[in-house]
Amino acid sequence: MRQQAEAHLRKQPADRDRIPAEDARRMLRELQVHKIELEMQNEELARARAEVEALLRRYTDLYDFAPVGYLTLTRDGTIHQANLAGANLLGLTRGELIDRRLGVFVSVESRPVFSAFLEKVFSSGGSKENCEVALVKDGPDALWAHLEASTEDKQECRAVVVDITERKRAGEALRRRLAELEALHSVSASLRAAQTRDETLPILLDKTLAALDTDAGIIWLYYPDGDELRAAVARGWFQQLGESPMKPGDGVAGAVFASGQMHLSAEFASDPLVRQPAAGPIPAGWGGVCLPIRTGGIAVGVLFASVPLPRQITPEQVSLLESLTEIAGAALHRMSLHEATVCQLDQLQAMHRVDQAIAASMDLRLMLGILLGHVATQLKVDAADVLLLDQNTLTLEHAAGRGFRTRAAEGARVPLGESLAGRAALERRAIRIDDPAKIQESPQFAALWAGEGFAAYHGVPLIAKGQVKGVLEVFHRTPLAAGRNWIGICETLADQAAIAIDNAQLFDDLQRSNVDLALAYDATTEGWSRALDLRDRETEGHTLRVTEMTMRLAKAMGAGADELVNIHRGALLHDIGKLGVPDGILRKPGPLTEDEWKLMCQHPQFSYDMLAPIAFLRPALDIPYCHHERWDGTGYPRGLKGEQIMPAARLFAVVDVWDALMSDRPYREAWPEEKVLEHIRSRAGTHFDPEAVELFLRVVNEDAKRAS
């Protein structure tokens, strides 16, 4: 509309005069409306301009006072623009920062990362790239920064720079802590799996050195018996030193152990506390730390860890080592308890085995051999022997030995009170010697000592029920650390040896008494048998003959040793009951009357009545009581039948009739052997057990064959 009006006004006046009034008024109104619209548009533009200016001011404030840095960088890293935060990050003003390259503020280690970052930003086509670099400020401090940038024109990029130093430090601290925890966990897990100190210490040292990224270290342990520290396990250059034991307070290890305080050394080779080892000087260029290993507040050893210069042990690493040594102390305490428990269990088992040996056998030399084996194992000595006291000569004599290289000890005869063993027995106390000068009292013992190369001796008297039985001697070819526990084990083994010797001697005495008693029993039974033969001269020799033949049959039948003893006694006493028969009946030359026969038939019962009250003869009653019983039940005194009759009595019945028929009697002459054998054969199954007859005839035939 405005354009139409302006075109109309530019026409010739003649043309203008020809415009109708109505159209002119209409166009005027339109011009007025347009003017109003223009004024409104101008007001809107003014408001928009004010808003933009306000936004620009706000943007400038945000840009300048933002908490993060904003930098505009060219392809080569030159800074064209920077906000206050970006300048402050580098310790400069914006004026000082502009036109300088950001790369000069990047640490040497981070420059490859920064270069790669710029290359990606300008070649990525607008995508955002980021990296983390270490920046070196103009001041003394350095910082870590996170860079994020993108570009569209590939000439400049806008980079956001965020200070992540605290986060980085926290992350590093967290990583260190995690590494420490991982090391602690690894050491704890490994030590829990270990069962002995020999397994524990290498694991502990290797894990500790790995956590410090070094390979040089050593662990010393304290041994109360010798009051000294001894190198237990070493790594790196410590292995070349050949460390000898040291006393608490001596050297760095001794000082740390005695004081309980750690010792940091800038360099061990120049440390005045270091004790120079005999194997050679400590290598230069190594520092480190020595810490005590404690358990229950008591130091049990020390741990060295060494690092090459210019590295130094940091406070964080010291803290880690302190934690590791606490774990080590707990593990060693657990190992000590475990080893003590195992040692006590071994000792109890050893004592039990010795007790079993004592209970299972009365062979003194066998028992002493077993005991000396346990002595060598439990006391960890090179040799041991037992000398027994002869009560008649009051001399100690060698009974058993173990671990000797020569046989010189086997001929030892030590009078009571002489030499070390004789003094131990006489004075009833243990004697310990490790001084070669004191060995010369006895030339015989001195020769043994020198020939065997011994360096330590311990002799304990063997006392049982108040009586000295002998002496237990133990020898070692190196100095012997005899602590309280060692002495206790030695005394316990000595007590067991004394009990074994006493039991064996009692058993020998009892055996001799039993043999004497058995001989007395047999002599008594043979005496009774001879007395019976003297009373009845017509049957003289009969008892010995039937006893011999019955024993042969019993052996052929497979009788045991105990059965043979009772069969022998029963055969000797088979007619002992005839002592109750009057001489008139026993020696009557003619046939017996019915009453006399009844009385004669009672002699087996008389035998039972005489022998049953005697305990040792009661098992021998089968033959005296039953040898007149018959297989068909018609015998006397009880009329037993078949297998009711004892086997020994069945055998003897055959032999008794055989010998009786083969001998002259007042009332008849002896039968020929063939007739006797035929008679016995014919009575099998009636008078005699058929199997007993068969066995008897086989033995007789074998005798006949041998005789021919």
Can you spell out the DSSP letters for 567-582? HHHHHHTTTGGGGGS-
Q: Which residue has the tokens 């068909």?
A: 632
Beta bridge partner(s), residue 395:
390, 415
Instruction: Kindly provide the residue ranges of all beta strands, DSSP E only, lying in 156-249, ordered along the sequence.
Output: 156-163, 216-223, 228-235
Specify the range with the lowest mean pLDDT, choosing from 455-464, 510-519, 623-632.
510-519
pTM over 0.95: no
Instruction: Look at residue 684 in the predicted model and tell me its pLDDT.
Output: 93
Give the separation between CA 361 and CA 602, rounded to whole angstroms: 48
Instruction: Kindly report which listed range (52-61, 354-363, 427-436) carries the lowest average pLDDT score.
Output: 52-61
**174 or 417: whose pLDDT is higher?**
417
Is 279 a residue whose pLDDT tops 60? Answer: no
- Better pLDDT: 541 or 415: 415
In angstroms, the Cα distances linking 647 to 133, 602, 623, 674, 697 are 112, 21, 9, 26, 17
DSSP state of 273: T
Best CA proximity match to 634, nearest among 645, 619, 624: 645
Mean pLDDT of all residues in 321-331: 77
Q: For residue 187, with 0-12 CB atoms within 10 Å meaning exposed, 13-18 middle and 19 or more buried, which class applies?
A: buried
Q: How far is CA 364 from the centre of its chain?
A: 32
Which range among 41-50, 291-300, 311-320, 570-579 shows the weakest confidence by mean pLDDT?
Answer: 41-50
Residue 427 parent element (H or E): helix 419-427
Residue 361 reports pLDDT greater than 50: yes
Report which DSSP code applies to 629: -
Q: Which of 71-80, 172-181, 204-213 has the lowest mean pLDDT?
A: 172-181
pLDDT in tens, 209-242: 888 889 999 988 888 877 888 888 899 998 888 7
Q: Return the SS3 of 669.
A: coil
Q: Is the pLDDT of residue 368 over 60?
A: yes
pLDDT, position 330: 74
Model confidence at 605, pLDDT cuts 50, 70, 90, reads very high
Question: What is the pLDDT, as a whole number, of residue 61?
Answer: 46
Cα dist from 586 to 282, 591, 599, 605, 668, whole Å: 113, 11, 10, 16, 15
Amino acid 326: pLDDT: 80
SS (H, E, C) 112-181: HHHHHHHHHHHHCCCCCEEEEEEEECCCCCEEEEEEEEECCCCCEEEEEEEECHHHHHHHHHHHHHHHHH
Q: How far is CA 480 from the centre of its chain?
A: 24
